[in-house]
Structure 1
Amino acid sequence: MSELHPVIRPRRLRQSQAMRRLTAETRLHPAELILPLFVREGATEPVPIASMPGVSQHSLDSLRRVAAEAAEAGVGGLMLFGVPETRDAVGSGATDPDGILNVATRVLAAEVGDALVVQTDLCLDEFTDHGHCGVLDARGHVDNDATLVRYRDMAVAQAEAGSQLLGLSGMMDGQVAAVRDALDASGHTDVVILAYAAKYASGFYGPFREAVDSQLSGDRRAYQQDPANRREGLREARLDLEEGADILMVKPALSYLDVLSDVAAISDVPVWAYQVSGEYAMVEAAAANGWIDRDRIIEETLIGARRAGADAIMTYWATEVAGWLR
């Protein structure tokens, strides 16, 4: 073999679209996509979220429509976030059967519960007047164990409303074990627990704060993970597995593909990634300025998360991308 005539030619497998499609190592499928949805108490029509072009806070009527569209597109699930009109220190609306999240859960369970997995965010931050993910103590710090009591009650309320999967996103120590115990004790043994095992204190959550009308002052660094720490993500994942998590989540996706790969390598349950609001907003903003090929970048970011080990991805583009794939 001379240098000019190599025998081994990897380019053979890249020569056409058909060949690339045939030999692709990683693929996307609509069932691997989960659509986050925001429902706003008192809304009579969708309320656009300025920092997330194309995403809105929904009324119950518009929620039904977008859920039906997602089901028709073959999306695997919907993750529901509630935006209440009133808040208090302990997030009472989270456990109120007539609170917006529980009402909307009943609506979605009836509307699309047979077509896809209806999921709910189990965290207090949308419902507290201080915007933290838990109950505060006398010093103004999040009280881990008092928060677990609220999570237990919230889990039962969501399960009774028809949620098939609870997304434990609060990053409290022991939250998986506490919620599993509460669900089993109340007869909801079939409800799935998605543990946000490696959730980082990220700057990528900015637009989400607008989406849920967050009341947060300060930050969540005392309970969400330090972006500098990789091994800690594995430690959290192992603890959640020991406590009975059915699925593990790594959040955000784009900046934590190494952690996602690590967790996928040690997990014997499915591992998901959340393509968060900031990731969405950056792509949409760059595309609006003509700086990138929007559709190509969307697909590339999703493939990247799948390639790193995500079995499914939570993304605001879920329905749109599912349409492309079908």
Structure 2
Amino acid sequence: MELPSLYATTLTPSDLASQYSLTASTTFPFPTSTQSASNTQTFLVDQWFLNRNRIQNGGSDLQFVDDPFPDGSSQSQPVLQVIYPEDSFSHDTGGAQFINMWNNTEQSAFQSMALTYDIAFDKDFPWVKGGKLPGIRGGNDTSGCSGGNEPTGSECFSVRLMWRTDGVGEAYAYIPSPNGLCSERSIICNSDFGISISRGAFSFTSGQWNRITLLVQLNDPVDVANGNLQVYYNDLLLISQQDLQFRSSPAVSANGMYFSTFFGGSDDSWATPQTTHTYFRNIQLWGGSNPSTLSGRQVQNMASKSSTSFLLWFLPLVAFVIFL
């Protein structure tokens, strides 16, 4: 399939799904009235097909509330509020995290998946250094590929969104980084954590609804880096990266939504100085059986980001000793 021209493409989520033959779809149900935190947890477990029937972190920070920014498109339906308590950072102290498994199965075998949702931030949202937002997960290992657990591609992958300082947006992936991926201008690799893709391609606006649509097409064959990632902000294509390796094993497929949102970062320099909130509505997933058919380079190396960082530190030291 020929890719659309970046920055010239506007697509609704349903049109994107049609363009990439994502024929299966599921819409996440919302209640017809607001819910207490405890009832919200029960609703999510019962209705959203959560992995292991549980919310991993932050169940008490989730609540269905009235839409704080009604714009006529949600028909007065409650929205899902996420609370980030003052001084919180990482999913252990604020925000929430859980994994949706499509149709309550771990082996959905989707080769392509798209996720869309509307998100709003409080008007005075303190962006600080950044934080995580929901995305897509794949593979049977539901505890890896996040939180500093470096991926090999054989067990899992994850692609979330992040906000950064002043609301700057990016895609944030736990995937392998072969073929010199970390040297590309659109890529920022961290030796211990995920890969930032196209940081600054767009910016979130607080005090109103923002629409995010994320497309992942898995690389195929698994030893070719032709994976396709696209991010649409308010239906405009602003991130497009096609030389990715999401997986190194055919056993890894796209499973469902990774609802993961918190300030952080793993230390208190990321912490929110005040209690604040995000809100979610219109969450929908599409899945398809076709992986990426783009051309791509054979995977030449599987050197980890941490190994690369070690070499970048070690080689200058060797040179210094030699010429001392």
TM-score where L is the length of structure 2: 0.29
Comparing both structures, which one devotes a greater share of its residues to strand?
A: 2
TM-score where L is the length of structure 1: 0.29
Comparing both structures, which one devotes a greater share of its residues to helix?
A: 1
| Structure number with bigger Rg | 1
